[in-house]
Copies of this chain bind each other. A is one copy, B any other.
């Protein structure tokens, strides 16, 4: 592939396209619930109600919508058991599992620099406050 922004490459054409791809991925998994779901399904298959109960604050609607998106992209597999009452299980696909690694890398970055970012924000906000007085 073309690297994200290879040194020496003018940030146009290829780079623009690559950037766009990254962006689409980030926007998909960067929405409010996708990553939470992927995290929950990291170790085991889970049922709909189980996810709904254990994920704090998610609405039934968003749980369904997010699962459908992930299923559509092939990151999650949905298995319906024809029983009464119905039983539906969700699991990561192999593709879904491969996503864990890069996301984890970003997670490490976030954890490593969280404090630094918070400090930056406080400094910035303090400066802005002085500016308005």
Contacts and interface: CB of A to CB of B under 8 A. Distances in A.
Nearest to A17: B111
Contacts of A43: 5, 7, 11
Contact of A100 (B4, B95, B119): B4
Interface residues of A, number: 59
Interface stretch (A28-36, A58-66, A83-91): A28-36
Query: Chain A contact residues: over half helix, strand or loop, or mixed?
Result: helix
A101 B108 CA distance: 12
Interface string A1-25: 1111101000100011011011111
A96 to B, nearest CB: 10
Given A5-B39, A15-B39, A26-B35, 13 more contacts: A3-B104, A4-B107, A7-B43, A11-B42, A18-B107, A19-B107, A21-B110, A23-B32, A23-B35, A25-B107, A26-B106, A74-B117, A101-B109
